[in-house]
Structure 1
Amino acid sequence: MNKEAQHWINRYMDAYLVVTRRINAQIRDSISEELTSDQYLILRLIQGQELCTSTHLAEAFAVGKSSITAMTNRLVEAGMIERTRDENDRRQVYLSMTEDGKSIFDAAEKQVQEIVSPYLFHFEESDIEMFIKMFEKLGSLMQESGGKNN
């Protein structure tokens, strides 16, 4: 690896640690006591999918299905999500938010917006758009190929 690439990686890792640790801590401290950061993210993923499955959540979290099952079980027990079986294929189970889950998620989402938005005001709109596009591209590369050239 050349020195320039190593320098970029070090800068990325340094910024990643500061940003993710601080934002996650602020989110953890501000969202409902009923909800962990991971549970908030699960609700966010469920909300964004018309037919969300445990498999989708496991892939998004990059964890095994047993880990997702444990997390979703807690959300079911708390009355925030429910499971429904596909009428055509009873093996297929979909996850959706209950009204209580939607209410808790909406409150948490508002808190997250209040935490993140003040940071955005320090940047031009075009810079924010470019950053998000590049970050989305990095996310896509990680999901598709692990960054390797095919």
Structure 2
Amino acid sequence: MNYYLEVGVLSKDVEHYINRYLDAYLLVTKRINAQIRDSIASELTNDQYLILRLINGQELCTSTYLAESSAVGKSSITAIINRLVEAGMIERNRDEQDRRQVYLSMTDYGRTAFDAAEKQVQEVVSPYLLYFDEKDIEKFIMMFEQLGQLMQETGGKNS
């Protein structure tokens, strides 16, 4: 572990990097989220899009998985799931062997809405990628994925 983090004191360099990261993160996510929200507003909220994206990536998706993956409480996930079920975009399916287990899956309508939103998100993000070399894009994404993996392994805590 980094000595400065271990004793609770940040070096000026680390503090500078953290501030730069936070400034860039907040600017980028605020603007990208607003652009995504505006492009998919007719069908989905950003949170609903995220939930459909997570469901799409799982063969057997549970609300617990969604809560853990999106780092929000189960009650928040339940509210989003209920709205998506009411909109006809997802359905709940009980496990045949364990009726207590409920899996979530997209309906045909949900798949159509998700696919359209995916296309719109790509149209929002892809123009920004034109400003970078492919190797820089790959390096940035790899480092961001490594940060995400580290956070998953540590439970989001700096252990």
TM range (shorter): over 0.9
1:121 aligns with 2:126: no
1:27-46 matches, cutoff 5 A: 27-46=36-55
Match in the other structure for 1:139? 148
Unaligned 5+ segments in structure 2 are 1-9
Unaligned 5+ segments in structure 1 are none
TM-score for both structures, normalised by structure 1: 0.96
Preserved contact between residue 53 and residue 95 of structure 1 (Cα < 8 Å): yes
Comparing 32-41 with 46-55, greater Cα deviation is found at 32-41
Distance 2:127 2:21 in 1: 22
Kindly report structure 1 stretches of 4+ aligned residues shifted beyond 3 Å. Answer: none
Aligned with 1:33: secondary structure?
coil
1:13-92 matches, cutoff 5 A: 13-92=22-101
Aligned with 2:16: secondary structure?
helix
Choose 1 or 2 for highest CA Rg. 2
**Could you give the per-residue CA deviations for residues 89-144 of structure 1, whole angstroms, max 9, x where no partner exists?**
11110000000000011111000000100111111111111100100011111111
Percent identity of paired positions between Structure 1 and Structure 2: 74
Preserved contact between residue 32 and residue 108 of structure 1 (Cα < 8 Å): no
Equivalent residue in structure 2 for 1:106, among 90, 109, 115: 115
* C-alpha distance 147-138 of structure 1, shift in aligned 2 (>3 A): farther
Tell me how many residue pairs correspond in the alignment: 149
Distance 1:148 1:58 in 2: 20
Aligned with 1:123: secondary structure?
coil
Preserved contact between residue 80 and residue 102 of structure 1 (Cα < 8 Å): yes
